[in-house]
Copies of this chain bind each other. A is one copy, B any other.
């Protein structure tokens, strides 16, 4: 391609509203154009880059995975079957939905579990048809509260999403690891710093999931990991060893008048103890949508050590697991909220009686009581007295309070010891989630009646001739997001810097003086030679000053630039490596072999 013949506009200034270096450079270099909030067009350079990334993904996926393409318009009835319609389409839900002219409810797919199950349940009959592993690369949609950070959070984006179906959990687990291995190879071939981390399965559901996170300061995700490489998890899910609480200063149960001490810090000061000696009790208000379409509210009382913090994702999951219906919201309760009389917030005890709850329609008349693991280990602790301005000390589970259900509800913190090795402290890094793999099990296949029977000679699951739900996995890569993640990690102050394997062009030929016939002729000859060698070549033949062309070259981030300038008089051209800045001089006819030896793409 010749720059003069295509659409290659660049901008000197950072566009307004571009929050990160990655999107700033993608906009300035003319890779993407913002059509509206959360809506971006791939211009020609981006289209080439993304197509190469898609080719890389196809190359690395397990051979058994077959490419398909589902509609992005999905019948809402399928989401009713899986039970996700209400949660995704409630006010504030992230799914766009609409009706066609016949009144049929349709969703603009943010994900395709329902569609994949609806398809496969009509195609698979027996164990002999398994496994089935399908993937597609296509558009996804989210009605984002606040689209931001360029391609990292948009209303429309490109994803690779895959769905696999198996007879047994073991076969699912094997395929899950195959997929995770493919994801690892993809990120490694891109030359990125990344982590595979244990992750929360979120609204997708299922038992096990792993997230692939590209490290970047602009990432929205926090990763906690250990230096030995044996532990890494999204902070939403990370576990850690709580530091042992120091020996309690309290002996024997006692009541204290502690006026105005509604915070842990002020209560500790009044009681003469540390936060780690206290049990704090936090009240939440959980709203559910029942299967009948009714709203139901459940008060939740959460107890944990005074120096610990509730992890909202862990709490959400713990509450959802224990109650019927779809959890819609979970918020810290306000004084007087659904209570018969004002609640002594700041002075609550773990035995706050159910009778404080006013009897109202749609309100559960008993607390869901949960205690964090570390809170359950406390001895002789201080806590609230269930009356304003009263604390107690020297309390113990069993003797003074019944221990509620225990769960891991605590936010793990950097510096705490890992659960796998107390000598390994957790480190924190920010990152961009670019991939996520899930073992969903029968979460969707049971709800949507996707089953198989074993009519063959096998003797495993299904050999009894009865129908068993398929074991399902799902596997996503945010394709357009990953392109920007690469930009975030590899761009510098001068512009983008692509890994060879996804660069829109392998090499850029820059003619220093377009009026110099020798330079132009040499460029044309080299252009033909490199194309004949199978390289993707961009020829900057514009009648612009050399400085402008060099600046655009840096901005575009093409891995190798060949400059045809004065050195031609000595029979030489200059090759410059964009990332490292290293420069080499060689004869034009040596360039194809030199590049071929350097380019990753040949080593695929």
Contact = CB atoms under 8 A, between A and B. Distances in A.
Interface of A: 1, 5-7, 9, 30, 33, 35-37, 39-44, 46-48, 50-51, 64, 66-75, 92, 96-98, 100-102, 104, 108, 115, 118-119, 122-123, 129, 132, 134, 138-139, 141, 143, 145, 155-156
Contacts of A7: 66, 123, 129, 132, 134
Contacts of A139: 72, 138-139
A96 B97 CA distance: 11
Contacts of A43: 68, 119, 123
Contact of A73 (B67, B68, B102, B155): B155
A426 to B, nearest CB: 36
A47 B68 contact: yes
Given A35-B119, A115-B35, A119-B35, A41 B68 contact: yes
B96 A92 contact: no
Contacts of A118: 35
Contacts of A50: 69
Contacts of A123: 7, 9, 30, 33, 43
Nearest to A145: B101
A417 B129 CA distance: 60
Given A68-B41, A101-B92, A119 B73 contact: no
A119 to B, nearest CB: 5
A39 B71 contact: yes
Given A92-B101, A143-B101, A72 B156 contact: yes
Contacts of A39: 71, 73-75
Given A41-B70, A43-B119, A101-B145, 12 more contacts: A1-B66, A6-B64, A35-B74, A36-B75, A37-B102, A41-B68, A44-B66, A47-B67, A73-B156, A92-B101, A96-B100, A98-B98
B134 A37 contact: no
Contacts of A5: 64
Contacts of A47: 66-69
Contacts of A122: 33
A134 to B, nearest CB: 7
B33 A119 contact: yes
A71 B40 contact: yes
B119 A71 contact: no
18 contacts: A5-B64, A6-B64, A33-B123, A35-B71, A35-B118, A40-B71, A41-B68, A41-B71, A44-B66, A44-B134, A47-B67, A47-B69, A48-B67, A71-B155, A73-B155, A73-B156, A96-B98, A98-B98
Nearest to A96: B98
Determine which residue in A70, A73, A118 has the highest number of CB atoms from chain B within 10 A of its CB, and name it.
A73
Q: Which 7 pairs from chain A and chain B are nearest by CB?
A: A44-B66, A42-B69, A36-B75, A39-B71, A98-B98, A71-B156, A47-B67
A478 to B, nearest CB: 15
A75 B35 contact: yes
Contacts of A75: 35-36, 39
Nearest to A138: B139
A236 B409 CA distance: 69
A115 B41 contact: yes
Contacts of A33: 119, 122-123
Contacts of A41: 68-71, 115, 119
A39 to B, nearest CB: 4
A66 B6 contact: yes
A92 B9 CA distance: 41
Nearest to A51: B67
Contacts of A96: 98, 100
Contacts of A37: 102, 104
A528 to B, nearest CB: 14
Contacts of A108: 98, 108
A97 B66 CA distance: 33
Contacts of A64: 5-6
Contact of A129 (B9, B92, B102): B9
Most buried by B among A39, A40, A138: A39
A30 to B, nearest CB: 8
Nearest to A39: B71
B35 A70 contact: yes
A344 to B, nearest CB: 38
B141 A73 contact: yes
A68 B42 CA distance: 5
A7 B119 CA distance: 11
A142 B401 CA distance: 63
A485 to B, nearest CB: 19
Contacts of A71: 35, 39-41, 155-156
Contacts of A6: 64, 66
A444 B9 CA distance: 22
Contacts of A35: 70-71, 74-75, 115, 118-119
A399 to B, nearest CB: 51
A417 to B, nearest CB: 43
A158 to B, nearest CB: 8
A595 B70 CA distance: 33
Given A41-B115, A75-B39, A100 B155 contact: yes
Nearest to A50: B69
Nearest to A139: B72
Contacts of A92: 101
